[in-house]
Amino acid sequence: MNKKLSLFLAALILLISSCSDGRTKTETSVVESKESPSINPERESKEQTATESLKPLSEVREQIIRGDYKQIDELITQVNSYTSKDTVQMTAGQRLSFPQPSKEILVDFLKSINLDSLKDNKEFEKKYSFDSAPKGYKPDSNECPDGLTLSLRENASEFALSIDNRFLVDADIGCAESMTIYYLSVEREKLLLNSLDYAG
């Protein structure tokens, strides 16, 4: 009888030990799985491309932060040259809907750019007041703030700088918006205007 009891207890101990080992292995496997997330090569490649594309812009931004505004002066010269040759010739009244930002606004905006936010969100925006609207409309209001938005283009080597001019039409209609878009690239630490477009 004692022999049978001993065999039964030995078998029971072996069974409990086996279950415990299985649970430990399962728990270890789960922990290892949590600690070793899968790597997405495509996502890493896109992030690396975005980081590399922002490097030239970062160098221009550093120049401006140091007080070297030559890039801004040259960009304004390029814009003026482009608009003087543009086939879309606007009247003085029409141009009130599409104001060009001042040198001071461009300097402030480029200094303010958060490169991490630009990389993560593909755009960076800041509000301004251009104090410009078509005749008969109030140029600026809290409901319709103006602003600049810098966006990363899909080809990653070009940026779009949108100048958003907003004004209040009336309480029912709300805000109207017109937009001037600079398509820019950076080569040899220089801002280049590739093209310019209007919307709104």
Count CB neighbours of 56 within 10 A.
Answer: 18
Closest CA to 147 of 126, 133, 161, 121: 126
Q: What's the pLDDT band for 5 if we cut at 50, 70, 90?
A: low
> For residue 13, is it within any domain?
no
Residue 16 lies in a domain: no
Asked whether the beta carbons of 193 and 184 are under 8 A apart, the reply is yes
Give the pLDDT of residue 43. 56
Cross-strand partners of 190:
187
Does some domain include residue 72? yes
Q: Residue 35: inside a domain, yes or no?
A: no
Q: How many domains does the chain have?
A: 1
pLDDT tens-digit series, residues 31-89: 444 444 556 666 555 566 567 778 999 999 999 999 999 999 999 999 999 988 876 77
In a domain, 31, yes or no: no
**Domain-located, residue 166:** yes
The answer to whether position 127 is within a domain reads: yes
- pLDDT score for 143: 81
Structural domain contains residue 67? yes
Provide DSSP, 159-182. EEEEEEEEEEEETTTEEEEEEEEE
Mean pLDDT of the chain: 80
User: By residue range, what is the domain housing residue 136?
Assistant: 53-199
Q: Give me the pLDDT at residue 189, please.
A: 84
* Model confidence pLDDT, tens digit, residues 140-165: 777 888 999 999 987 667 899 999 99
The helix/strand/coil state of 79 is helix
